[in-house]
Amino acid sequence: MKRVRGNVIGWREIVSLPEWGVEGIEAKIDTGARISAVHVEDAARLKGGRVRFHLVTSSRRPFRHVPITADLVRTTRVRSSTGHTQERYVVETTIRLGSIERRIEVGLVRRDKMLCRMLLGRKALEGVFVIDPGRRYVQGRRAPAASASPTTVPPDGDGRPPGDPGTATKAAKAGGA
């Protein structure tokens, strides 16, 4: 059996959004979605290319709403799981999953009918995580401690620690080292 390289995660994990001061959001891993999505209410476009919204962090009452203002990266048209096309605001933030931190794009959407408040798409996962679809909470049922030393992985990173021979090989192929 071939050994799997990478950070193994299950089909459901607990994540944090440290820039927004949010820990412990339940996220479903969805390789069928290109970008990630998070449950928000009252999203409004502001002047100067910003957007204001209330992030809903739990599916249990009382709901916790976190007011956030972020730079708008773009708007996009997305076909939902029900087949309807909708326009969504897309923002960028840092996500922490296990010991990994990385910048991702997140679509702002109402997910009040869904069990998980966040969906992690392919772009947030690629090159860093390996998914075991038969498991959940591989990284633990609690949000990683803020004092933990996370490994920051750039969006195009391969998830290997600095100095790993695979990293040098990748840089050499790209003409870097």
Say what the pTM is: 0.74
- Phi, psi dihedrals of residue 54, rounded to the nearest 5°: -110, 115
Pick 62 or 79 by higher pLDDT: 79
Per-residue model confidence as pLDDT tens digits over 55-78 = 988 766 556 789 999 999 999 987
Domains parsed from the chain with CATH numbers: 7-173 (2.40.70.10)
Q: What is the pLDDT of residues 12-52, one digit of tens each?
A: 999 999 999 999 899 999 998 899 999 999 999 999 999 99
Encoded tokens for 2? 């071939």
Q: Which among 98, 33, 46 is positioned nearest to 72, based on CA atoms?
A: 46
pLDDT of res. 15:
94
Average pLDDT, rounded, for the chain: 80
